[in-house]
Amino acid sequence: MFSLSNYTKAEAEELANTIRNHVEKTPMVSPEGEISITLSLGIAEAERGVGETVSSLLNKADKALYQAKGTGRNKVSIYLKGNIGM
């Protein structure tokens, strides 16, 4: 989990994709050889003036994460109010 209080949603998505791409391009080395790894991430933005709790924010990010996993994995998904965006 990352808390990016000074990032816009677009900047958070860009950072998440940078991390995801780096993980995808960097195989893990094991005694049996290289292992390819992918990463799915969910992003949620706290709504201003709503009194968002950490729990509700994590719930939104978790929903976005499962959306990313459910549509092919190795993706970034953003929770949008009432919807999830890719």
Hey, what domains does the chain have and what are their CATH numbers? 9-85 (3.30.70.270)
In this structure, the number of other CB atoms found within 10 A of the CB of residue 45 comes to: 18
Q: Is the pLDDT of residue 3 over 90?
A: no
Each residue of 6-55: pLDDT tens digit?
899 899 999 999 999 999 999 999 999 999 999 999 999 988 778 889 89
Question: Which of these, 84, 80, 54, lies nearest to 69 by C-alpha position?
Answer: 84
Radius of gyration, CA atoms only, the chain: 15
Residue-level pLDDT at 13: 95
Residue keyed to tokens 């990352």: 2
In this structure, the number of other CB atoms found within 10 A of the CB of residue 52 comes to: 14
- State how beta strands 83-85 and 76-80 pair: antiparallel
Mean pLDDT for 54-68 is: 93
Residue-level pLDDT at 24: 96
